[in-house]
Structure 1
Amino acid sequence: MERNRSNEKKTRIPSGAAVQSAALTDQLYRAFFEEWAERGFAALSLERIAARAGAGKAAIYRRFHSKLAFAEAALANLGPRVALPQDFGSLESDVLSFLMSLRSVLRHPLIRRILPDLHAEAARSEEMRAINTRVAAIRRELGRALIDRAIARNELPASLDRELALDLLPATLYWRMVVIGRTPTRSDVRAMAHAISTALRGAGDNCVEGGE
């Protein structure tokens, strides 16, 4: 029987076609963070990153047009790991879940070595400062969902200063783990969740009293 050559042409993958593998993208992200942790952002080499990931440099440029674009994508990829898809029933329970999720990310040795260098680079570079601001905005949206849920449950007033609330959510844990370099116990995190929830309610009370 003669082959249907028209169908064969439709299903054949073109020679040399670039297929972006999600697994390879994840390998590139990890290699990027490993190089960043070892050498600092200024000394990053895309050639070394590609070699570490077992890929060619072209695999990077098919995905990211520059080292800065690569950095932004890699950092943004961390955001979903701190997401809160579930409603845990109360402000304090939601805050605790958020902190435990964030603790899991921040305790990774690569992340703890990268973040101080990220802030230092952002202080020197307008481009990196802009990236840091955009990535931070993505993470803050995750916290905003938590605050909105508490408002919907009438645990916090709609007049709450959301920007202040979003500053409060990660601040204590971030300071302890990234600035001081200590990993809090689960008991410590529970105490933080209670303190932050109390502070948020207090901030909400002040908004109501102030008529804002």
Structure 2
Amino acid sequence: MTSERRPGRPRSETRRRAILAAAMAELEERGYADLTIERIAARAGAGKQTIYRWWPSKADVVLDALVDMAETRIALPDEGSLPDDLMAFILATFRQRGQRPVLLGLLAQALLDPVFAKAFRDRFLFRRRAVLRQILDRAVARGEIAPETDPELLIDVVYGVLWYRLMLDHAALDDDAGRQLSSLLLRAARPGP
């Protein structure tokens, strides 16, 4: 069996990372609404055609950058207990609050484009939920969560608070909020006497 190579140059990981870094830098400076493929290409030293060959839209470039960033900055903690794991995960998540314009830009794009909405859900939202689900599953195995507790509801509470505060910007997403949310979840999930 032979493997066929796609036409064109192979995708360079170095070039891909430069493009994603350029996209994030442009986002920090200009915001999502003013982000363009032209500016990303110029900053990365890449051709627009290279970017369009690898990604169908600016939203897809940003999604890849966001996925990479989340996987490196918000790792799966294993501190040995639900309180410590939950606190580490929520604090790391809330500390990315500077990504608010990026997240809201992608959410807006997802509302307008059903194809992108599926990619955003599957590649970012559901992957982040899966990390939190692993934390909760380990806690169930250790007997730290009542067996009748619905882990999906606990996950919804975490991301509900996160997205609600991101969208409305009415309250802080800081370490104090993270600690309060962790405490609330622990009380809700604690096994009975």
Deviations, residues 83-108 of structure 1 (Å, cap 9, x unaligned): 22x422322211110111112222x2
Answer yes or no: is 1:82 the counterpart of 2:74.
yes
Once the two structures are TM-superposed, the CA of residue 152 in structure 1 deviates from its matched residue by 1.0
Note if contact 1:115-1:178 (Cα within 8 Å) is conserved in structure 2: no
User: d(CA) in 2 for partners of 1:140 and 1:20?
Assistant: 30
* RMSD of Structure 2 on Structure 1 (CA): 2.9
Answer yes or no: is 1:169 the counterpart of 2:161.
no
Q: Secondary structure at the match of 1:55?
A: coil
- Structure showing greater radius of gyration is 1
Give aligned pairs, total.
Answer: 181
What are the equivalent positions in structure 2 for 1:61-210 lying under 5 Å apart? 61=52, 64-67=54-57, 68-80=59-71, 81-84=73-76, 86-106=77-97, 108=98, 111-134=99-122, 135-180=124-169, 182-201=171-190
Matching residue of 1:57: 48
Deviations, residues 187-208 of structure 1 (Å, cap 9, x unaligned): 443222111221233xx76xxx
AA paired with 1:124?
A: L
Note if contact 1:99-1:173 (Cα within 8 Å) is conserved in structure 2: no
User: d(CA) in 2 for partners of 1:74 and 1:21?
Assistant: 13
Matching residue of 1:6: none
Identity of counterpart residues, as a percentage?
29
Once the two structures are TM-superposed, the CA of residue 148 in structure 1 deviates from its matched residue by 0.8
- Residues 141 and 196 from structure 1, CA distance in 2 versus in 1: closer, same or farther, beyond 3 angstroms? same
Note if contact 2:32-2:101 (Cα within 8 Å) is conserved in structure 1: no
User: d(CA) in 1 for partners of 2:175 and 2:113?
Assistant: 37
Question: What TM-score does the superposition give when structure 1 sets the normalisation length?
Answer: 0.70
Note if contact 1:47-1:57 (Cα within 8 Å) is conserved in structure 2: yes
Note if contact 2:74-2:92 (Cα within 8 Å) is conserved in structure 1: yes
What 5-or-longer segments of structure 2 have no aligned partner? 1-7
What 5-or-longer segments of structure 1 have no aligned partner? 1-15, 206-212
Once the two structures are TM-superposed, the CA of residue 39 in structure 1 deviates from its matched residue by 5.5
Q: Secondary structure at the match of 1:130?
A: helix
User: d(CA) in 2 for partners of 1:184 and 1:117?
Assistant: 18
Question: What TM-score does the superposition give when structure 2 sets the normalisation length?
Answer: 0.76
* Mean CA deviation greater in 133-142 or 49-58: 49-58
User: d(CA) in 2 for partners of 1:197 and 1:155?
Assistant: 9
* Mean CA deviation greater in 149-158 or 191-200: 191-200
User: d(CA) in 1 for partners of 2:136 and 2:173?
Assistant: 24
